[in-house]
Amino acid sequence: MLNMILNRKGEVSLKTPLLGTNFFINIYDMVYILFIIIISISLIVFGKFFIDKGSNRAIVRYNGKEIMALDLRKNQTVFLLKKDYPLLLGDMEIEVKEGKIAVVKEKSPYNYCSLMGFTGESTRPIICQPNKITITVENGKESSGNNQVDAEVR
């Protein structure tokens, strides 16, 4: 068993039958050990609850370049104007609602990107090829909800 003796100098003497040794640990050593334990626990807690989560956001790219990052926790409407982005076929309206994003108005031959509707899944980006716009969700859910699809063939 472990015997602990506190001497006058505030040192703790630990005696174990296994080792037959007296270890002297002073208050600084105890603080040091406690510090390491607290740091370890807090890092584990931090990693578990904060690192993985992050905030959901959507990255809007025009002609391959990132032009804005939209916070999906905030309902908002964003307009991309043809005068600012000349490769657009017309002005475009992007809406963020309840953690999901959609292109609600756009000009293109077949309107595929507005047809796609709202997405909050990282595996379902919005692609507006004729307008040179792509929208990808970061830190989004995996395939979920009713669709449960990782990729689409068309």
Partner 1 sequence: MSFYMMGERRKMKKEKDREQKKEEKIRRYPKQKIFFPSEIFKIMKKVKGTGLLLFALALFSSCLGKNEKIYTKTVEDLFDTVHVISGYDKSEKDFSKKVEFYKKEMEELHNLYTSYEDIEKVNNIKTINDNAGVKPVKVDKRIIALLKDSIKWNREISNKVNIAAGGVIQLWEKGRQEKRIPNHEELERAKKCSNIDNIVIDEENSTVFLKEKCTRINVGAVAKGYAVEIVAAKMKKEGMDSIIISAGGNVKVIGKRKIPKKEEEVTDLKSCKTDFCIGIMTPIYNDKELDNGNPYKRRDIPYISKIAVSDTSVVTTGSYQRYSVIEGKVYGHIINMDTMYPEEKFSSVTVITENSGLADFMSTTLYLLSFEEGKNLLVKLRGIGRIDAIWAMKSGNIETTESIVDGEDYVKYDFK
Task: Point out which residues bind partner 1 (CB under 8 A).
Answer: 20-26, 28-29, 32, 36, 39-40, 43-44, 46-48, 51-52, 61, 63-64, 110-112, 115, 122-123, 125, 127, 129, 132, 134, 136-138, 142-144, 146-154
Residue 93 beta carbon to partner 1: minimum distance, rounded to whole angstroms: 17
Nearer to partner 1 among residue 81 and residue 149 (C-beta): 149
Residues in the chain, overall count: 154
How far is Cα 139 from Cα 123, in angstroms, rounded to an integer?
A: 10
Nearer to partner 1 among residue 68 and residue 111 (C-beta): 111
Residue 128 beta carbon to partner 1: minimum distance, rounded to whole angstroms: 9
Run of H or E residues at 23: strand 21-25
- In 18-143 the beta strands, taken as DSSP E runs, fall at 21-25, 57-62, 65-71, 76-80, 92-97, 100-105, 126-128, 133-138
